[in-house]
Structure 1
Amino acid sequence: MDNAFKVKQITKLYDSCNQCGLPTLTCICNMVTPINSRAKFWVLTSEREFSRPSSTGRLLKLINPLSTEIFLWERTKPSQKLIEMMTNFKGNTYLLFPSENEDFESKSLSNLQEETNAFILIDGTWKEARKIFRKCDYLKSIPQISIKPDYESEFTLRRGRLQKTLCTIEAAMEILKSTGETEQQRIVEQYFNLFLKHYKAGANSHLPKD
């Protein structure tokens, strides 16, 4: 997915960067040294979510560009590019979404370290994610995994978040950790914290304090 959709401004004083989503004053693009994880992340997002400056799916693409793809979800037609990648991918594909199948969840999180896997993440609020899942028949045949964190999310940029739920990039970090890519997880977490710091400073139209 290209950057054809302009990211909304956090502050009236500065445009938002179309890559990291932050105000140009606090843009972190030049601070990021990209990684290349073994795990592949396919992020399915709506135009509404992609235009939000707080979207962490876009941030994951910035940090992990070669292993992350972003696909636009449209209500009236399926994402043909995502379907093609699912069909042609030589490894295993999983959908990160709550599942009642506890046996599968346990197996998937503990036995994927040596495999080539792609993880589909639905980027958006829980209400939006449920809507996308409900309307995408092609997602329902994919094995599901779910994450039940024992900590609260660091993502506090939106109101009304459910307790013990993670934002998209935090979910990706949990997957990296669970599949043995702990160094990549550490780096993503470092840039996520940088993003949060620069977002809050940019929202007040000033540079972050050291």
Structure 2
Amino acid sequence: MNAFQLLRQQRLARATKPFNARGGSIVRCEGCGLPVHLCACELKPQGVPNAAFCLLMYDAEPLKPSNTGRLIADVFPHDTHAFLWSRMEVDEKLLALLNDPAYSPVVVFPDSYVTDEERVVLSSTETLKTRPLYILLDGTWREASKMFRKSPYLNQFPVISVQPETLSTYRLRVAAHDNQLCTAEVACCLLQQQGDTTSSVLLHQWFSVFRERYLKIKPHHKAEA
């Protein structure tokens, strides 16, 4: 299992009641997260990106069928790490990863929300001494904002933001703003900005497959098409 699947199993094991979000009753493939009759595991690509990813996930995010952080772990299983976020208790394995000299951690968040004048804001990763480790705050916009503000152990790392040329094509959940990207789309943009076109295309292809098949179970999709 990749890092997301392991984290999902851990989160399920500690759940005290069933997760009853919309679509939660559908029997899904554990490999790709899609309904079993729409399983796309045989189409799942794998690649080796120039950067690594750290999914820092809000409490119930690993349980949500619409989560796209899992797609990053699908395509880059050896280069993606996943942890649950906690304001009070920080996972020691997360801290060890952030202190690994093989990586240069970078927090991915809109730079317009950086209020600390001493915080480094990057426009590219070319100045980093080692391989970028993109820290993706995976949750709703409100949850991601909370993680950004209340994770002091991340304050030492620079921030980078993405400037997508097109609006999000996500549509699996309702975003607070039209120009907000889902987690997989953000990763695609980061890889593209870094010049890693091959990895960006691989991830976007898998995202497109997931999105197309996921939308088939949404009752309003045909009306939108």
TM-score band w.r.t. shorter chain: 0.7 to 0.9
- Consecutive unaligned residues of structure 2, counting only runs of 5 or more, are 13-18, 220-225
Change (3 A) 1:103 1:148: farther
List per-residue Cα deviations over 1:92-130 (Å, max 9, x = no partner): 110101224798332x25x26995111100111110101
Change (3 A) 1:188 1:201: same
List per-residue Cα deviations over 1:179-202 (Å, max 9, x = no partner): 111011111111111001110124
1:182 is matched with which residue? 197
Matched residues in 1 for 2:46 and 2:95: separation? 26
1:194 is matched with which residue? 209
Q: CA deviation at 1:11?
A: 6.5
1:105 is matched with which residue? 122
Matched residues in 1 for 2:175 and 2:130: separation? 36
Q: Does 1:117 align with 2:132?
A: yes
Matched residues in 1 for 2:147 and 2:109: separation? 11
Matched residues in 1 for 2:73 and 2:127: separation? 22
- Consecutive unaligned residues of structure 1, counting only runs of 5 or more, are 205-210
TM-score of the superposed pair, with normalisation by structure 2: 0.80
Matched residues in 2 for 1:91 and 1:75: separation? 23
Q: Does 1:161 align with 2:173?
A: no
Q: Does 1:55 align with 2:72?
A: no
1:70 is matched with which residue? 82
SS at structure 1 position matched to 2:210: helix
1:141 is matched with which residue? 156
- Which amino acid counterpart does residue 214 of structure 2 have in structure 1? Y
- Which amino acid counterpart does residue 23 of structure 2 have in structure 1? I
Change (3 A) 1:179 1:75: same
- Which amino acid counterpart does residue 140 of structure 2 have in structure 1? T
Kept in 2: contact 1:113–1:180 (CA 8 A): no
SS at structure 2 position matched to 1:159: coil
Percent identity at matched positions?
Answer: 31
- Which amino acid counterpart does residue 121 of structure 2 have in structure 1? F
Q: Does 1:16 align with 2:28?
A: yes
RMSD over aligned CA atoms reads 2.4
Q: CA deviation at 1:28?
A: 1.7
SS at structure 1 position matched to 2:195: coil
Change (3 A) 1:185 1:50: same
Change (3 A) 1:23 1:113: farther
Matched residues in 1 for 2:75 and 2:189: separation? 15
Q: How many residues align?
A: 201
